[in-house]
């Protein structure tokens, strides 16, 4: 039954990418993005480039069919505004998601959308430690207008309704691994690399 298969896809994504999520915690711990606004801007650079990769997938009609509310998602534009607020330059890099298609695209979206949940904690830190908020500097960590939980539930519903078979689900998980790998590489390059 579709519901059961896809309910297990959400669970499978969570379980099978658990180590990757832990790795993100480790990288953030190492990178100390809230030590000062300069370090934080380096995190936002990684966020901007990752969001650009993810949003590149929004143009694909098959992805739009699977997740119909894509226009309300994505944070590259607000990340760019944050970089401007912080007086940081716009980073550039090749798009890493070139050629990614359904169903792997859903794995990239899973990582991006899931990261809005953890962003609640990061947002609080940005506000408390750096004085940033949803109008200045920390837009990329702010909740979607409808709220984090609601947007996440609708994304899970889209996963649930995708009705993917076993092989397709494995591709979604692979896509999630690739997306985590990309975000990890961006954190390493932009947040962890020695300050030029």
Binding site for ligand HEM (CB under 6 A): 13-14, 21, 24-25, 28, 110-111, 114-115, 117-118, 121-122, 183
C-alpha distances in angstroms, 13 versus 32, 40, 60, 107, 192? 27, 28, 22, 8, 27
For residue 56, the minimal CB distance to ligand HEM (Å) is 16
CA distance 129 to 32: 11
Q: How many Å is the Cα radius of gyration of the chain?
A: 16
Q: How far is the CB of 88 from ligand HEM (least distance, A)?
A: 19
CB nearer to ligand HEM: give 87 or 104.
104
Do 48 and 83 touch, CB atoms closer than 8 A?
A: yes
Q: Which is nearer to ligand HEM, 61 or 170 (CB)?
A: 170
Minimum Å distance from CB 13 to ligand HEM? 5
The nearest distance, CB 125 to ligand HEM, in angstroms, is: 9
Contact, 148 vs 86, CB < 8 A?
Answer: no
- What CA–CA distance (Å, rounded) separates 168 from 8? 13
Q: Nearer Cβ to ligand HEM, position 48 or 183? A: 183
Q: Please identify, using beta-carbon distances, which residue of 24 and 192 lies nearer to ligand HEM.
A: 24
């Amino acid at each position: 039954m579709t519901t059961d298969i896809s309910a297990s896809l959400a669970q499978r994504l969570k379980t099978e990418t658990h180590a990757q999520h832990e790795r993100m915690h480790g990288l953030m711990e190492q990178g100390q993005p809230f030590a000062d606004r300069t370090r934080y801007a380096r995190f936002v650079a990684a966020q901007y480039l990752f969001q650009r990769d993810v949003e590149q997938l929004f143009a694909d009609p098959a992805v739009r069919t699977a997740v119909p509310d894509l226009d309300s998602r994505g944070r590259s534009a607000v990340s760019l505004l944050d970089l401007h607020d912080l007086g940081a330059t716009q980073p550039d890099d090749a798009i890493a998601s070139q050629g990614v298609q359904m169903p792997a695209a859903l794995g990239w979206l899973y990582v991006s959308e899931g990261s809005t949940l953890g962003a609640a904690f990061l947002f609080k830190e940005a506000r408390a430690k750096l004085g940033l908020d949803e109008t200045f500097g920390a837009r990329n960590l702010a909740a979607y207008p409808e709220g984090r939980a609601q947007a996440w539930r609708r994304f899970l519903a889209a996963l649930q309704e995708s009705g993917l078979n076993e092989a397709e689900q494995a591709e979604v998980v692979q896509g999630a691994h690739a997306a985590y790998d990309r975000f990890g590489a961006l954190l390493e390059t932009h947040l962890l690399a020695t300050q030029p």
